[in-house]
A = this chain, B = another copy of it.
Amino acid sequence: MQAVVLLPGAVPMLHGFAVPLTPQGNCPLVSAPPWHYSSDCMAIEYWTDPAAIAALLPPGVTPDEDARGRAFFWFLDWQFTGSNDELTDPARYQYREAFVLVEAIIERTPINYCPFIFVDNDAAIARGWTQGFPKKYGSMYQTRSFSAPSAAAAPLATGSRFGASVSAHGERLATARLQLEDKIANPATIFNRPTVMRRYFPQLAAAQHLKPPVDELTLSLTDDLKIVDQWAGAAQLTMPPVQGEDMHSLAPLRVGLGYRLGMSYTVTDLRVLKNYV
A8 to chain B, nearest CB (A): 6
Residues of B within 8 A of A32 (CB): 209
Residues of B within 8 A of A163 (CB): 87-90
Q: At the interface, yes or no: A194 with Cβ under 8 Å from chain B?
A: no
Separation of A40 and B152 alpha carbons in the complex (Å)? 12
Contacts A5-B209, A9-B59, A167-B170 known; A141 to B94 CB distance under 8 Å?
yes
Residue interface bits A257-277, CB-to-B below 8 A is 1, else 0: 000001111111111100010
> A148 is contacted by which of B57, B81, B164, B262 (Cβ under 8 Å)?
B262
The answer on a CB contact under 8 Å between A210 and B6 is yes
Residues of B within 8 A of A202 (CB): 17-18, 30, 130
Q: At the interface, yes or no: A255 with Cβ under 8 Å from chain B?
A: no
Separation of A224 and B210 alpha carbons in the complex (Å)? 25
The answer on a CB contact under 8 Å between A23 and B56 is yes
Contacts A26-B244, A27-B244 known; A154 to B19 CB distance under 8 Å?
no
Residue interface bits A50-79, CB-to-B below 8 A is 1, else 0: 000011111100000000000000000101
> A90 is contacted by which of B17, B85, B143 (Cβ under 8 Å)?
B143
As for how many copies of this chain the complex holds, the number is 4
Residues of B within 8 A of A185 (CB): none
The answer on a CB contact under 8 Å between B17 and A264 is no
A123 to chain B, nearest CB (A): 9
Separation of A165 and B75 alpha carbons in the complex (Å)? 24
Q: At the interface, yes or no: A239 with Cβ under 8 Å from chain B?
A: no
Q: At the interface, yes or no: A227 with Cβ under 8 Å from chain B?
A: yes
Considering only residues 157-213 of chain A, those with a C-beta below 8 Å from chain B are: 161-167, 169-172, 177, 198, 200-206, 209-210, 213
The answer on a CB contact under 8 Å between B209 and A17 is yes
> A89 is contacted by which of B18, B88, B244, B263 (Cβ under 8 Å)?
B244
Q: At the interface, yes or no: A150 with Cβ under 8 Å from chain B?
A: yes
The answer on a CB contact under 8 Å between B244 and A205 is no
A89 to chain B, nearest CB (A): 6
The answer on a CB contact under 8 Å between A88 and B143 is yes
Considering only residues 127-152 of chain A, those with a C-beta below 8 Å from chain B are: 129-131, 134-137, 139, 141-144, 146-152
Considering only residues 199-242 of chain A, those with a C-beta below 8 Å from chain B are: 200-206, 209-210, 213-215, 224, 226-229
The residue in chain B whose Cβ has the minimal distance to the Cβ of A147 is B262
Residues of B within 8 A of A116 (CB): 20
Separation of A72 and B239 alpha carbons in the complex (Å)? 31
